[in-house]
A and B are shown apart, each in its own frame.
Chain A
Amino acid sequence: MTIQEIQGYSMFFMTILMAVLLYWYIFYLYRSEKKGERDFEKYGRIALDDSIDTSPVEDKLASEEDRRIKEQN
């Protein structure tokens, strides 16, 4: 197999993979929001409520705490 062929195949499959990933991503974004799993639009608030004494939209420390509790159980 020449490098051109390898290139041709990888171009072809990567493009398909990327397209699938992109559409999967769109699908994932909307489905998880519809099912109420996540609300992406609330992340837009991060820019607005950004003074240091407001509480984070998703607290990193709190969620780490949650995980630790889950793991212990």
Chain B
Amino acid sequence: MFFHWLEKNPFFFAVMTFAVIAFAGLIEIVPNFTEAARPLTTTTPRTVLELAGKNVYIKDNCIACHSQLIRPFKSETDRYGNYSLSGEYAFDRPFLWGSKRTGPDLHRVGNYRTTDWHENHMKNPPDIVPGSIMPSYKHQFTNVADIETAYAEAVTVKNVFNVPYGDDIKAGRKAWEAYRPKVLEDAKKVAADMKDEGVKKMIANGKVPEIVALIAYLNSLK
């Protein structure tokens, strides 16, 4: 008998088990893959500075408490804005929907918070939102954001996944040196709205503090 034989042959038993557990993934994930990968016509890839900000978001693991997914309920669209669409995430690697809202959703935070608000809030959240249980992220004002890695990321997704970045984003140190001033330019624009002296000093020295990259990223969430 088939079952009798199966129970005594570890190898074929393992193959059978694998087939049974792999089946669900094949049916659920594969068929919709191409469709779900398509961006909206208005969705653009993030700039290098924003990517660096996204990496700060991941490093400090904001996802532990903040979602980026507005569900199609009136209570959510009233609170956060339009509900999220699949195509808006097409360039997000990884996706950052999160699974817990200890703090509010951030998917469209760029629509209703400003650079200045974020600057003060990240220093000490309860000062801005009394009763807030969010920790202070002062270290982001002194840590340097890794814009080179963000650039490397842009190059990678452009070459591997055909993400529509311009021709000036290409592999190699030379290309990066040529591109770097553009990132600094973007950073300067963000820092212009900030008050922190340390941040201004770092920008003047050609360094981008984490907070500047993070705010650029948060402002891009619309």
Could you tell me which A residues sit within 8 Å of B by CB distance?
Answer: 3-4, 6-7, 10-11, 14, 18, 25, 28-29, 32, 38
Contact = CB atoms under 8 A, between A and B. Distances in A.
A11 B27 contact: yes
B23 interface: yes
Contact of B31 (A3, A25, A38): A3
Could you say which of B1, B3, B4, B31 has the most chain A C-beta atoms within 10 Å of its C-beta?
B31
Interface of B: 1, 3-4, 20, 23, 27, 30-31
Contacts of A10: 27
B123 to A, nearest CB: 51
A33 to B, nearest CB: 12
Nearest to B20: A18
Contacts, number: 19
A69 B175 CA distance: 75
Contacts of B1: 28, 32
A72 to B, nearest CB: 21
Contact of A14 (B3, B4, B23, B31): B23
Contacts of B4: 32, 38
Contacts of B27: 7, 10-11, 14
Contacts of A4: 31
A4 B27 CA distance: 10
Given A3-B31, A4-B31, A7-B31, A25 B3 contact: yes
